[in-house]
Structure 1
Amino acid sequence: MFSASPSRAWDVRRLPSAEDKVFLVTGGNAGIGYFVAEQLAATGAVVLLGSRDAAKAGAAMASIGARVAGARVRHLPLDLADLSSLAAAVDGSDLDHLDAVVHNAGVALDDPPRLETADGHELMFGTNHLGHFALTRWLAPLLSAAPAGRVVTVGSFAARSERLDLDDPQSTRDYRPKRSYGRSKLAQMCFGFELDRRLRAAGSTVLSVVAHPGGALDSLTPSRPPVHVTSPGQRLRALPAGLLVQGKEAGAWPIVRATLDPDVRGGQLWGPRLFGLRGLPRHEPVPTHMADGAVAARLWAVSCVLTGTESHLGFPAR
């Protein structure tokens, strides 16, 4: 283990020690979130897996424990599709501070019909964006109690080609699953950048950073049974795609760096080095449509109304 510094290159295989840290990874029981949690656990940190499925969380904890000696991993029951449950979930964490939350959990639907959350919100927008927006409000005191708390929002390469329709944010008039997914991830990313602007204006010590995994395929992902199994045949067939994209273990690298690296700054975007699709993590320029402060402010106001949340999200008001 070593302490990262500007004079020493970041090494995804030799992460800095974080034995005194506590991290929450939403959706940490599967996919990108699992590998984020596994890599963070290897730093010695306490890692909470935010998941509504206790059995899947248990399988993920067992897998991490088998690969990381002395791993300190816990399950935090969490259902982002049920906004009324979030306050109790955070209260049940028994934490006095939280060094970082990784807003990773997400729903991706490929086909109709349009589905809704328990609160009546379109499922992808309601879970991916509104659930994390509301969760941030309840985590704000814990993040503020840490010496340098961090909110790391996991976006998607798919958000680059989408634009928000804030007159119909929940796709009630024209529902197309893949477009709705891309817009939900764009909303998350715009939220992450706007949150940092508001935190800086308030003089908060908490940072908000956005990261994305690039192109991350199951077929290029190393097996972690029973959480994920990739057959030799699947890996062989996926090798040509590996020239452009990567597996989910590597997809976790930008997110882990955004969580751990002391040189990361609020408002930054982190992703894979090669065309934003694969490779080692790097600091990327923020696309213009994600940096639009007017759109982000309007999204923020809409999100407050839909979640019944105060505009300051529990952080000091500006």
Structure 2
Amino acid sequence: MPSTAPPEASTGPWDVHRLPRADGKTFLVTGGNAGIGYFVAEQLAGTGATVVLGSRDAGRADAAVASIRSRVPDARVRHIRLDLADLSSLEASADSLRLERLDAVVHNAGVKYDQPTRRETGDGHEAMFGINHLGHFALTHWLAPLLAAAPEGRVVTTGSFAATSERLDLDDLESTRDYRPDRTYGRSKLAQMLFGFELDRRLRAAGSRVRSVVTHPGGALDSLTPSRPPIHVRGTGERLRGLPAGVLVQGKDAAAWTAVRAVLDPAITGGQLWTPRLFGLRGTPRRQPVRGPLADTEAAARLWSASRDLTGVEPESGLG
């Protein structure tokens, strides 16, 4: 089971502005061309590691790479094409990494639709569940040999605060009967987080060195996020309007801190949950107990079986 030890147990001081070096390591960040994923990639690039951005849009990925290189001297950063909505393409994406080992993958990419019309991927899956959960579930399978080849490979799954108030409907995982955009999004992120915990249980049972860690970024607003032209440009008016919200939430640069720590901190072990310190919404990373729907091992096991049937792959295969 995921650990329920008190927050911060067995961890030392951590400075989000003075990250440890990671020279020689390679990290993949899905959705690393924009939003929180961009800042995860930028911060990891500052450690000396090689950072690979997974993105559907080559133009946006090129712009993100250029932005990181303009801010991080000698950054080792590149991108690959990654479309989580197309399950049949993920094996080729993993092959395109051209690596002998992968030290960590950050499952960050995600979509949230507000329109009342239910969307589907080209594979016929509800889009938020298909991209946020099933795509990362299948990608983990294809990355398994590379992660297992690393001394201590890590799978870092980025959930959401929205997941903590939801429960899965295991008889309607793809919201065919009950599609409400906010609920469907929250459930897709809950599925991701349950996957991360279930993956760790299976890795431990197999005696694998790979660790699976779950995080969520808290609340993040563009108006509190520093400019990174052309990725994100924040005007003075937008910045001033966002200041009151800074009491409760934060910018996307700070929202990246939990995933970055989950990748780099040697004291972090599998099955842990890391969130922002203040009410789970803002602040430096803090370990939290795994409770409520996140601790439902039966639901996680049933979700795993359903996801395997829907994707045709088994993520822990090759991670032993």
2:225 maps to which of 221, 229, 247: 221
Q: State whether structure 2 residue 174 is matched by structure 1 residue 174.
A: no
2:154 corresponding residue in structure 1: 150
Give the deviation of 1:186 after TM superposition.
Answer: 0.2
For 2:5, the equivalent position in structure 1 comes to none
Residue 106 (structure 2) aligns with: 102
Do residues 253 (structure 1) and 251 (structure 2) align? no
Match of 2:142 among 138, 141, 158: 138
Q: 1:311 to 1:233 in 2, by over 3 A?
A: closer
- Asked if 1:38 corresponds to 2:42, the answer is yes
CA contact (8 A) 1:160 1:287 kept: no
Gaps of 5+ in 1: 1-5
Mapped to 2, the partners of 1:314 and 1:308 lie a distance apart of 15
Aligned counterparts of 2:315 and 2:215: Cα–Cα separation in 1? 24
Tell me the number of residue pairs that the alignment of Structure 1 and Structure 2 aligns: 311
Alpha-carbon displacement from aligned partner over 1:225-273 (angstroms, at most 9, x marks no partner): 0001111111101111100000000000011001100000100000110
Q: Distance in 1 between matches of 2:112 and 2:168?
A: 17
1:112-159: CA deviation from partner (whole Å, max 9, x where unpaired):
211111110000000000000000000000000000000000000000
1:26-66 deviation line (CA, Å, top 9, x unaligned) = 00000000000000000000000000100000000000000
Moved more, 233-242 or 96-105: 233-242
How many angstroms does 1:192 deviate by?
0.2
TM-score of the aligned structures, taking structure 1 as reference length: 0.96
Given that 1:301 and 1:311 are in contact with CA atoms closer than 8 Å, whether structure 2 keeps it comes out as no
Distance 1:129 1:21 in 2: 26
CA drift of 1:313 comes to 3.6
Give yes or no for contact 1:150–1:206 (8 Å, CA) kept in 2.
Answer: yes
**Partner Cα distance (1:42, 1:165) in 2:** 41
Which residue of structure 2 lines up, in the alignment, with residue 204 of structure 1?
Answer: 208
In 1, Cα distance between equivalents of 2:169 and 2:318:
27
1:95 to partner: Cα distance: 0.5
1:216 aligns to what SS in structure 2?
Answer: coil
Q: Which has the higher contact order (CA 8 A, sep 6+)?
A: 2
What aligned pairs does 1:6-45 form with structure 2 within 5 A after superposition? 9-45=13-49
Task: Report the Cα offset of residue 296 of structure 1.
Answer: 0.3
State how far apart, in whole Å, the 2-side matches of 1:44 and 1:203 are.
30
Q: Distance in 1 between matches of 2:211 and 2:203?
A: 7
Q: Which moved more, 1:278-287 or 1:202-211?
A: 278-287
Alignment partner, residue 291 of structure 2: 287
Q: Distance in 1 between the 2:143 and 2:20 partners?
A: 25
Shift of 1:314: 3.2
For residue 123 of structure 2, the aligned residue among 119, 125, 141 is 119
Whole-angstrom distance in 2 between the partners of 1:27 and 1:45: 18
Q: Is the 8 A contact 2:138 2:314 kept in 1?
A: no
Q: Percent same amino acid at aligned positions?
A: 72
1:270 and 2:274 aligned: yes
Q: Secondary structure at the match of 1:246?
A: coil
**TM-score, length-normalised on structure 2?**
0.96
* Aligned twin of 1:3: none
2:246 paired residue number? 242
Once residues 52 and 225 of structure 1 are traced to their aligned partners in structure 2, the CA distance between those partners, rounded to angstroms, is 20
CA contact (8 A) 1:106 1:127 kept: yes
1:76 maps onto 2:80 in alignment:
yes
